[in-house]
Amino acid sequence: METTTTVTEISVFDSSEFEKMVEDKDIRIARALVETILNNLKRKKRYFHALSVLVIQEQTVYDITIDKSEFITTLEANLPIYEKHELFEQCAEMVCALKYLKSKPKRGRPKKNLEK
């Protein structure tokens, strides 16, 4: 049975406002990314929709997705943001997720040994 997750939506006046949010490490963006990862750790899909950004001035919606191969780096990048906001229970969940992801064997063919 598939779980349904709600996608975070953020409205901004223009793209520079969103860029400022990213630069300032806005907790709403961090939460959208982290919650998407935590809700999809064991799913087989490669890309996950995490965030929709409505840019009012452009009357455009940008959908932000996360590639499963970026789960580890995204969690590591967002851990300090959660610590800054003292969201320690969620930090613990992130650390458990990181351990799980790092312990999983890599998929695909093994690399050839070129040192012959």
Query: 0.85 cut: is pTM over it?
Result: no
pLDDT of residue 5: 57
CA–CA separation, 72 vs 97, rounded Å?
9
Residue 3 within any structural domain of the chain: no
pLDDT of residue 36: 95
Residue 26 within any structural domain of the chain: yes
pLDDT tens for the chain, residues 1 to 116: 444 456 789 999 998 999 999 999 999 999 999 999 999 998 989 999 999 999 999 999 999 999 999 999 999 999 999 999 999 999 999 999 999 999 987 666 666 666 65
Residue 74 within any structural domain of the chain: yes
- Please state the domain count of the chain: 1
Residue 100 within any structural domain of the chain: no
Assign residue 8 a region (left: φ > 0; alpha: ψ between -120 and 50; beta: otherwise).
beta
Residue 1 within any structural domain of the chain: no
Range of the domain at 25: 8-88
Residue 50 within any structural domain of the chain: yes
Q: Which two tokens stand for residue 3?
A: 């779980």
Residue 18 within any structural domain of the chain: yes
Closest CA to 26 of 64, 59, 61: 64
Residue 75 within any structural domain of the chain: yes
